[in-house]
Structures are given as C-alpha cells and as structure tokens.
Amino acid sequence: MPGEEKIRGGKEEKTKWLQKLEKIRNQNFHSYSVKEEEYNFLYQINQSLIERND
C-alpha cells in the first residue's frame, strides 16, 4: 500500500490494510455490496496498484 513505508512499527502495523481488505472480502463474498467507506478504501488500493504498473 502506498505510504506504508512511512508507517512505524513492524509487520503487523504495515499489513493492517491487508487485514481490512480480507475482512471486507469475507463479509461481502456473496452480497456484492460494500459501504461507502469500504468502497473508498478499495478504490485507493486499486489506484495504487494501477500507478505501480505505469
């Protein structure tokens, strides 16, 4: 995730975004809807992945 290199702490602090992503995925495995906050989080991840590939 962009900016995680600035996060202090160990592996747990730097991978909290993965835990949040997993939680959203598990909650929405069959419902296909997310809250606005979750959408914004997923959009941010998507954008950072696109930027890395440019």
Spatial distance between the Cα atoms of 32 and 15, rounded to a whole number of angstroms: 24
pLDDT score at 40: 93
pLDDT score at 36: 94
Q: Is-contact 1 52, C-beta < 8 A?
A: no
At 20-48, the pLDDT tens digits run 888 888 887 777 788 899 999 999 989 98
CA atoms within 13 A of residue 33's CA, in its CB half-sphere: 2
How many independent structural domains does the chain possess?
1
Boundaries of domain holding 40: 4-53
**How would residue 13 be classed by pLDDT, with cut points 50, 70 and 90?**
confident
**How would residue 5 be classed by pLDDT, with cut points 50, 70 and 90?**
low
Spatial distance between the Cα atoms of 35 and 24, rounded to a whole number of angstroms: 9
Residue 38 gets which letter from DSSP?
H
Q: Which two tokens stand for residue 4?
A: 């995680």
